[in-house]
Amino acid sequence: MTRVGDLRERELIDRIRRRLPPPPAWLVVGIGDDAAVVEPERNRIEVLSVDSVVDGVHFDRAFVPADAIGHRALAVNLSDLAAMGAAPRLALLSFALPATLPLSDFDGIADGLTALAARHGLHVVGGNLTRTPGPLTIDVTIVGTVKRRQALTRGGAKAGDQLYVTGTIGSASAGLSLLRARLTTDDSVLSTDDSRLVRVYLYPEPRVRIGVLLARNKAATACMDLSDGLADAVRQVAEASGVGAAIEADALPIDPAARARLASSGWDPIDAAIAGGDDYELLVAVRPRFTRRFEAAMRHADAPLTRIGSCTADRAVVVVRRDGREPRLSPLPEGYAHFRSFDALRVVPSDIEGR
Amino acid sequence: MTRVGDLRERELIDRIRRRLPPPPAWLVVGIGDDAAVVEPERNRIEVLSVDSVVDGVHFDRAFVPADAIGHRALAVNLSDLAAMGAAPRLALLSFALPATLPLSDFDGIADGLTALAARHGLHVVGGNLTRTPGPLTIDVTIVGTVKRRQALTRGGAKAGDQLYVTGTIGSASAGLSLLRARLTTDDSVLSTDDSRLVRVYLYPEPRVRIGVLLARNKAATACMDLSDGLADAVRQVAEASGVGAAIEADALPIDPAARARLASSGWDPIDAAIAGGDDYELLVAVRPRFTRRFEAAMRHADAPLTRIGSCTADRAVVVVRRDGREPRLSPLPEGYAHFRSFDALRVVPSDIEGR
């Protein structure tokens, strides 16, 4: 078996370059020089982000196929752009590769990454490859653009603003839990429902189109992606905006199959879905008087948006359950903000605590 | 002792933020949101690069102090901008941190990095921290700007163009060799000469000012930095430009102390200086009819430039030695282009082969 350590850096770079579409007109100097040179986009401001995925921390090569690793490395960055309302433009890749990584895995990573890039009209303009004695680590730097005064931030929500979330939550956690369970029962066959959950975990769809629609529409007062879980996103938006938030447990868009899977793992499905990471959905705050304009714009969205609660003047961040006679308020479960927790794969908190 | 694993991600980010100067007017959204938002610079094109340093590959924590690690992580990127003639503007940081890294080392890295950034008017606008079960890895993405049609590339040299190099070569290799030797003889005290060599290795000075002068001056037909050694740079410029090159051994600017150190390690000092990496100098090709204009501009440079040879119509890349009666031509020694060699610390080739 050929391994990446058997190839020269340039040969590996060529394997990525081969997968790229023809360079756009704004790319003055592409891959192969000391740096890339690009013509900036007129009348737009630039949105920049970097994010990395590490084997054993953000994914596990034992059950995540190579193309899903490449997909994820870019998706986490596209999700950050989406949360700012920016249209993707270019990316720089930085791979730290163990010498023993099979070349077929390297190719698979490149396939997953370049396929997602192509779907979003994003151009890979440069990068860096290095060897590492440690785990496979992929850093992606992404640059997008947005019109002046249209960038979405975390800090503009006010008390009374309605909170929406795109897609569903908890499916990625449920999918990851299924993949881990399968490791010990290799002969198990996934049902259609379970396949869907696994797919959500493996190939998250960053909400780029919705982010761009939100920026144009100007109805959103705050936006953030759920990469560290809904609980973390609600807390961050509330803190940056100087408000509190009340989330309605009954309103949460949790896939029934995910709910069943999370419950069968012994977790409270609502807590697990709120705290679980890897949902690359968007949390959006909308001023009530803009609700109609917002909902009209969202008819062009490629995923549903669900109203899940509202911002409050009281600074507490709570979840409201109406399963008994009286509504019960409880604090939002902890998310993944703890640096300490990053050395465990991102699953629901009880699982991390158990390690 | 406090370790980075004892802190939350946000607390670590705050330790970097605290070291940054007030944000520039063009920074619309800085650290703390999903992404940074910046106003592009008018009438300039953008130059982007990413580079990473890995403990045990590009430096060794056993003998490289923390501030030198931070300095290096940014210097390698500034050097790429310099090679393109770009003025530095902003950077994004991505750290993969072992949980056991002492917090004082984290602070030292931040000190070294932010001090170098400040000296070059570069602003850190965002980044990402993650845990890793592997070695400390620092990725820096850098963005600079240059006027249209002034970006320097590797590919514009023609036969007859003169080749220049900034500063000296071989000092970093000699300094690294001294640091490694000291590991086993802790009581040794460095001479003034040796301290200088160690300093060149630990705190490389990227040739940003010279790069900017070269871009304005328009006398250079090709430029590249020597991060992988002079031999590698000459080969890359020759290949990209479709020419050969003849390097004059006698003309090479090798510090006498470096020469002595490399010889005492049993290496041919010229081969070692040509092949050795970690010299963050620039290789520059200059059209003969622009030589006067070039030399006039270089009077404002902050390091000497030395003519070391010329480009040839013959595609061979050779070194010319005149130590005997007849000039001897030999192929340039191999540099560090082999991905395979990256798992050894960058020293002169014989050392790597011996591993």
CB-CB under 8 Å, B84 with A339: no
Over residues B127-149, mean pLDDT: 96
Which of B41, B92, B339 faces A9 most closely, judged by CB atoms? B339
Pairing label, strands B220-225, B305-312: unpaired
pLDDT band at A335 (very low <50, low <70, confident <90, very high): low
CB-CB under 8 Å, B130 with A83: no
Contacts of A8 in chain B (CB under 8 A): 337-340
B34-88 confidence digits (pLDDT tens): 899 999 999 999 999 999 999 998 999 989 999 999 999 999 999 999 999 999 9
What is the C-alpha separation between A190 and A176, in angstroms, rounded? Answer: 13
Contacts of A51 in chain B (CB under 8 A): 94, 128
**The pLDDT of residue A250 is above 50:** yes
Task: For residue A314, give how far its alpha carbon lies from the nearest alpha carbon of chain B (Å).
Answer: 23
If we measure between CA atoms, which residue out of A3, A27, A2, A6 comes closest to residue A17?
A: A27
Which of A6, A127, A340 faces B50 most closely, judged by CB atoms? A127
Contacts of B293 (CB under 8 A, 6+ apart): B217, B219
Select the more confidently predicted residue: B104 or B10: B104
Contacts of B128 in chain A (CB under 8 A): 50-52, 139
**The pLDDT of residue B348 is above 80:** no
Select the more confidently predicted residue: B332 or B146: B146
Over residues B164-180, mean pLDDT: 94
Task: For residue B186, give how far its alpha carbon lies from the nearest alpha carbon of chain A (Å).
Answer: 27
Based on the number of CB atoms within 10 Å of its own CB, is A307 exposed (0-12), middle (13-18) or buried (19 or more)?
middle
CB-CB under 8 Å, A39 with B343: no
Q: How many CB atoms lie within 10 A of CB B275?
A: 27
Contacts of B131 in chain A (CB under 8 A): 54, 57, 339, 342-343
pLDDT band at A323 (very low <50, low <70, confident <90, very high): confident
- For residue A35, give both structure tokens: 């740096």
**The pLDDT of residue A351 is above 60:** no
Task: For residue B234, give how far its alpha carbon lies from the nearest alpha carbon of chain A (Å).
Answer: 13
Phi-psi region for residue A93, left (φ > 0), alpha (ψ -120 to 50) or beta? beta
Which of B40, B50, B141 faces A40 most closely, judged by CB atoms? B40
**Can you say how many angstroms the Cα of residue A277 is from the centroid of all Cα atoms in its chain?**
9
CB-CB under 8 Å, B38 with A84: no
What is the amino acid identity at position B75?
A
pLDDT band at B293 (very low <50, low <70, confident <90, very high): very high
Pairing label, strands A27-29, A36-38: antiparallel
Over residues A84-106, mean pLDDT: 97
pLDDT band at A324 (very low <50, low <70, confident <90, very high): confident
CB-CB under 8 Å, B131 with A339: yes
What is the C-alpha separation between B34 and B17, in angstroms, rounded? Answer: 16
Task: For residue B267, give how far its alpha carbon lies from the nearest alpha carbon of chain A (Å).
Answer: 25
What is the C-alpha separation between B285 and B221, in angstroms, rounded? Answer: 5
pLDDT band at A332 (very low <50, low <70, confident <90, very high): confident
3-state DSSP of chain B: CCEHHHCCHHHHHHHHHCCCCCCCCCEEECECECCEEECCCCCCEEEEEEEEEEECCCECCCCCCHHHHHHHHHHHHHHHHHHHCCEEEEEEEEEEECCCCEHHHHHHHHHHHHHHHHHCCCEEEEEEEEECCCCCEEEEEEEEEECCCCCCCCCCCCCCCEEEEECCCCHHHHHHHHHHHHHHCCCCCCCHHHHHHHHHHHCCCCCHHHHHHHHHHCCEEEEEECCCCHHHHHHHHHHHHCCEEEEEHHHCCCCHHHHHHHHHCCCCHHHHHHHCCCCCCEEEEECHHHHHHHHHHHHHCCCCEEEEEEEECCCCEEEEECCCCCCEEEECCCCCCCHHHHHCCCCCHHHHHCC
Measured in degrees and rounded to the nearest 5, phi and psi for residue B183 equal: -55, -35
If we measure between CA atoms, which residue out of B73, B248, B40 comes closest to residue B146?
A: B40
Phi-psi region for residue A114, left (φ > 0), alpha (ψ -120 to 50) or beta? alpha
**The pLDDT of residue A100 is above 50:** yes
Question: CB of A97 within 8 A of CB of A4?
Answer: yes
CB-CB under 8 Å, B339 with A129: yes
Comparing alpha-carbon positions, the chain B residue that sits nearest to A222 is B33
Contacts of A235 in chain B (CB under 8 A): none
- Range scoring the smallest mean pLDDT among A299-303, A341-345, B23-27: A341-345
For residue B188, the model assigns a pLDDT of 61
What is the C-alpha separation between B271 and A324, in angstroms, rounded? Answer: 81
For residue B335, the model assigns a pLDDT of 58
What are the angstrom distances between the C-alpha of B153 and each of A27, B81, B218?
14, 11, 12
Question: CB of A55 within 8 A of CB of A63?
Answer: no
pLDDT band at A338 (very low <50, low <70, confident <90, very high): very low
For residue A184, the model assigns a pLDDT of 54
Over residues A282-305, mean pLDDT: 95
If we measure between CA atoms, which residue out of A355, A325, A332, A329 comes closest to residue A342?
A: A355
Contacts of B40 in chain A (CB under 8 A): 40-41, 44-46
Pairing label, strands B305-312, B162-166: antiparallel
Return mean pLDDT, chain B.
Answer: 90
pLDDT band at A330 (very low <50, low <70, confident <90, very high): confident
Q: Which of B77, B339, B345 is the best substitution to test chain A (most A C-beta atoms within 10 A)?
A: B339
What is the C-alpha separation between A275 and A331, in angstroms, rounded? Answer: 12
For residue A343, the model assigns a pLDDT of 31
Return mean pLDDT, chain A.
Answer: 90
Select the more confidently predicted residue: A9 or A315: A315
Question: CB of B253 within 8 A of CB of B304?
Answer: yes
B79-88 confidence digits (pLDDT tens): 999 999 999 9
Task: For residue A289, give how far its alpha carbon lies from the nearest alpha carbon of chain B (Å).
Answer: 25
What is the C-alpha separation between B112 and B99, in angstroms, rounded? Answer: 20
Q: Which of A33, A53, A147 is the best substitution to test chain B (most B C-beta atoms within 10 A)?
A: A33
Over residues A264-269, mean pLDDT: 88
Task: For residue A94, give how far its alpha carbon lies from the nearest alpha carbon of chain B (Å).
Answer: 7
Contacts of B151 in chain A (CB under 8 A): 28-29, 37
For residue B243, the model assigns a pLDDT of 98
For residue B266, the model assigns a pLDDT of 86
Contacts of A7 in chain B (CB under 8 A): 339
A165-185 confidence digits (pLDDT tens): 999 999 999 999 899 887 655
Select the more confidently predicted residue: B135 or B334: B135
Mutual angle of helices B103-119 and B9-17, in 10-degree steps: 40
For residue A235, the model assigns a pLDDT of 95
**The pLDDT of residue A82 is above 70:** yes
CB-CB under 8 Å, B137 with A96: yes
What is the C-alpha separation between A173 and A84, in angstroms, rounded? Answer: 24
Query: What percent of chain A shows pLDDT beyond 70?
Result: 92
Question: CB of B69 within 8 A of CB of B102?
Answer: no
Contacts of A31 in chain B (CB under 8 A): none
Select the more confidently predicted residue: B340 or A205: A205
Over residues A213-241, mean pLDDT: 94
Contacts of B32 in chain A (CB under 8 A): 154, 240
What is the C-alpha separation between A279 and A200, in angstroms, rounded? Answer: 8
Hey, what's the torsion of the CAs at A182, A188, A194, A198, to 10 degrees?
40
Question: CB of A284 within 8 A of CB of A305?
Answer: yes
Q: Which of A37, A42, A57 is the best substitution to test chain B (most B C-beta atoms within 10 A)?
A: A37
- ipTM here: 0.91
For residue A183, the model assigns a pLDDT of 62
State the count of interchain CB pairs (< 8 A) between A and B. 253
**The pLDDT of residue B351 is above 80:** no
Strand order in the sheet with A328-331: A220-225, A282-286, A162-166, A305-312, A244-248, A317-321, A328-331
CB-CB under 8 Å, A32 with B8: no
B177-206 confidence digits (pLDDT tens): 899 887 655 556 788 899 999 999 999 999
Contacts of A134 in chain B (CB under 8 A): 54, 132-135, 137
